Amino acid sequence: MSSRQAAAALTAREWGVLLVLCGAIFLEGIDVAMLNVALPSIRADLGLSTGSLQWVMSAYVLGYGGFMLVGGRAADLFGRRRMFVFWLSVFLLFSGLGGFATEGWTLIVARFVTGLAAAFMAPAGLSLITTSFEEGPQRNKALLLYSGTAAGGFSVGLVVGGLLTSVGWRWVFFAPVVLAALILLAALALVPGAPRPDRTGRSVDLAGGLTVTAAVILLVLGVERAGHTSLLWTLGTLGAGLVLLAAFIAMERRSASPLVRLGIFRSGALVRANLVGLLFAAGFFGFQFLVVLYLQELRDWSTLQTSFAMIVIGVDAILSPVLTPRLVNRFGNARVIFAGLLLASLSYALFLPLGADWTYLAMLPGLLTLGIAFSLAYGPLTIVATEGVQEEEQGLAGGLLYTSFQFGAAIGLSTVTAVNVSATASSSPAALLHGYRVALWVPLAAALLAALIGAFGLRGRPAVTVAASGAPADRTAGELPAAP
């Protein structure tokens, strides 16, 4: 066994902790994916309008994206295990309540609280990994397994959601309850407790938390609803969000104990990872949305057929823990991320000449390439976004990254929707196909811009680790170069 392999070896207890945390992120991915394929059945059974159905998804997005920064900081201040266990319990409860909904508004409320629970649970879980495993080969191995599990949850959820919906859409809500209960019991048994964090001189920035939560909710809402409301409403919502965001930044500059220490953004690697993550998520989710529309609206494929067609993207669940660690060890995070972004661009480009009667074999190269791209980009982005960050700010770093992913997904979905609607002149097959082709340029543009930003990370210079005090501390890390 090489010294690098020995350094990356995990004990039985560490494997137990990792399996619990991977189970939680798998739960989150499968929950979202199953709901996506169950929406038509939910609308038919509850008699929901298109607007109400949209809010079933939007409520989760708002809860998840709006409270992520607060959730990440709460993990640092109140204890990562404590936040993880408590909000996993909330997730379990409200996922089950969603299955009992008989009115649209009760389902929307349940999804909002479920998203809020995920916003606290996800960064707590990520920071448990980054603080439980030593930075370097061991943490990289854990994070790549974690990211592969997250992707696998989404891919498996597409198929399982189709199967459960064929039995009854309520099972899409009940099934995660069983999995969440098992994970909760395992977390109580395997995740070690820790002393309550010392919050001396670190008061809770309640005003900052309320301001940034309101700002992010308005920004996500404005972007996510852009294709469904008037331009004036969208601009007003985004404008209000930007005003609150500016107010939050001003408050944090003066706060003795800020919710988000602005000095953390002195790390060029962290900023770059978050920008690339935002754009990568925008392209990835926008592309998937368009392909699903193409298969179901134009090709009249069933939900289950569409799910099986898309599952090939889940190859990243296999490659992330098997291939990606070797590539990272040999070439470094920055180069592996850049390769993933180039492959994502290639995948979207392969779909530009989309035909009205494409066979699945014609689509397969693009879908498979996207799965490989995800395996190369997602895990290493998680490593870069959290490496070099002090332990007491790991929750914050995780919250920033997940906020970027969520906001990027909202941007991608709303942009491709707006472009697709404006480019589709009628409901004829030719018009629908033209709309898809035009909208496919959006994910391609997002991936190319992400690759351009990622290219600045290819320079192999020493990185700067920003200490909690705000003063930079030099360290050598050729794969995590300093800011351009």
Let me know the angle formed at the C-alpha of 238 by 237 and 239, rounded to the nearest 5 degrees.
90
Joined tokens for residue 377: 């980009």
Place of tokens 């190369």: 376
What average pLDDT does this structure show over 50-72?
A: 78
Neighbouring C-beta atoms of residue 338, cutoff 10 Å: 25
Q: Helices 137-167 and 360-386, interaxial angle, to 10°?
A: 140
Average pLDDT (31-53) is: 78
Q: Label residue 203 left, alpha or beta by phi (over 0 means left) and psi (-120 to 50 means alpha).
A: beta
Would you say residue 471 has pLDDT above 60?
Answer: no
How much of the chain exceeds pLDDT 70, in percent?
Answer: 89
pLDDT higher than 50, residue 215: yes
The mean-pLDDT minimum among 162-166, 191-195, 290-294, 359-363 falls in 191-195
All residues at 6 or more sequence positions from 236 whose CB lies less than 8 Å from its CB, including other chains: none
Residue 481's nearest CA partner among 374, 377, 382, 388 is: 388
Q: What global pTM score does this model have?
A: 0.81
- 369 pLDDT more than 70: yes
Average pLDDT value for residue range 413-417: 83
pLDDT digits (tens, 9 = 90+) for 165-179: 888 889 999 988 999
Let me know: does 290 contact 432? Beta carbons within 8 Å. Answer: no
C-alpha to C-alpha distance for 77 and 72, rounded to whole angstroms: 9
What amino acid is encoded at 268 in this protein? G
Using DSSP's 3-state secondary structure scheme, residue 418 falls into helix
The CA radius of gyration of the chain, in Å to the nearest whole number, is: 21
- Which pLDDT tens digit goes with each residue over 333-365? 999 999 999 999 999 999 999 999 999 999 999
From 16-20, 93-97, 184-188, 416-420, the region with the lowest mean pLDDT? 416-420
Q: What is the mean pLDDT of residues 320-338?
A: 89
Mean pLDDT confidence for 303-331: 85
Convert the pLDDT of each residue in 223-267 to its tens digit.
767 767 788 888 999 999 999 989 988 988 887 778 788 888 888
